[in-house]
Amino acid sequence: MSQVQPFDKAAYNERVQNGPCFICQLVKNQPEESHSEIYRDEVGIVFLSKYPSQYGYTLVAPIKHRERVTADFSPEEYLALQSLIYRVGEALQKVITTERFYILSLGSQQGNRHVHWHLVPLPPGVPYEEQQLEALKIDKGFLALGNSEAEVLVEKVRQYLL
Class of domain 3-143+150-161: alpha beta
Question: Which pLDDT score, from 0 to 100, does residue 103 have?
Answer: 98
Question: Which pLDDT score, from 0 to 100, does residue 30 have?
Answer: 84
Question: Which pLDDT score, from 0 to 100, does residue 22 have?
Answer: 92
Question: Which pLDDT score, from 0 to 100, does residue 138 have?
Answer: 92
Low-confidence ranges of the chain (pLDDT < 50): none
Question: Which pLDDT score, from 0 to 100, does residue 1 have?
Answer: 61
Residue 43: CB atoms within 10 A of its CB come to: 16
Task: List Cα–Cα distances, 68 to 16, 44, 65, 149, in angstroms.
Answer: 17, 15, 10, 34
Question: Which pLDDT score, from 0 to 100, does residue 25 have?
Answer: 93
Backbone angles phi, psi at 3, to 5 degrees: -130, 145
CB 46 within 8 A of CB 40: yes
Rg (C-alpha) for the chain, rounded Å, is 15
Q: pTM for this one?
A: 0.94
Question: Which pLDDT score, from 0 to 100, does residue 31 have?
Answer: 66
Element (H, E) at 77: helix 75-95
